[in-house]
Amino acid sequence: MGFKSFCLVLALVLSATMLGGCSDGLNTGCTLPPPPPPSSYDLPFPSSETQLMHNFRTVYEEMRFDGYRDMIHADYETFLQNSTQVAFPFAGPTLDQAEELRIAERLFSGQPVTDRDGALVHAVSSISFDVFEQQGEWQNAPANDPIPNGRFAMFDVTFLTDRPGASTIKTSGQIKFYVTGRDSVIDGVMRTYWQMIGQQDLTESATKGIEVTNWGSLKMLFY
């Protein structure tokens, strides 16, 4: 075998091994390795409030915990309704970053979990938004706002949380989203990096005869 032919055979063997884990360049069973799991790094860079909210919808509908984790600010808070605090006595008026991420990890896992009393909570198979619309412009939060160092906007939302073996939960109403930005150098260019710093639940509470649960109460199922 000439040197050029040897090099060609070696290249074929290496290519097959890298692509399919094969040790024989003539093996026709070689397949490409599976793609890596979704990562927050393939989400568009959150250079604006609008892009951050697009990313928020994406990570919820694709149930991507890594993406949600990266968009949540260290000082994050969720503000719960009084009805949620009554229904879940262990809940205080707010959830901090650690509590929010614990809920998201369990909610997005696709696996059944148990609540604080050991009761089964059915797995979530999908989350789909029928409505996710911003109402008005982003505004600077006033000094007397619960998050005075952020910017906020109201969003009309309607989404369905599907649970195999249990009823689908509908959540509808408004959520007040708070965001904050900081300067970040990306590839030598200064860009603003936006993160979510809070949410205020203003969605509808449970309605008799209809499986409707407000945003905070849905979260508390996976606390």
* Burial (CB count within 10 angstroms: exposed 0-12, middle 13-18, buried 19+), residue 78: buried
φ, ψ for residue 194, nearest 5 deg: -95, 140
pTM for this one?
0.78
Q: Which amino acid is at 159?
A: F
pLDDT for res 24: 35
Residues 138-153 have pLDDT tens digits of 999 999 999 998 999 9
Domains of the chain, earliest start first:
45-221 (3.10.450.50)
Contacts 24+ apart (CB under 8 A), 107-114: 107/63, 107/219, 107/222, 108/63, 108/64, 108/65, 108/68, 109/65, 110/63, 113/222
Tens digit of each residue's pLDDT (9 = 90 or more) over 120-140: 999 999 999 999 999 999 999
pLDDT value of residue 9: 43
Phi and psi based region of residue 171 (left: phi greater than 0; alpha: psi -120 to 50; beta: remaining)? beta
Q: Which residue carries 């008005």 as its tokens?
A: 136
Structure tokens at 185: 């150098």
Q: Tell me: pLDDT of 183 over 90.
A: no
Cross-strand pairs, 115: none
For 37-51, what is the mean pLDDT?
Answer: 80
Q: Tell me the three state secondary structure of residue 72.
A: strand
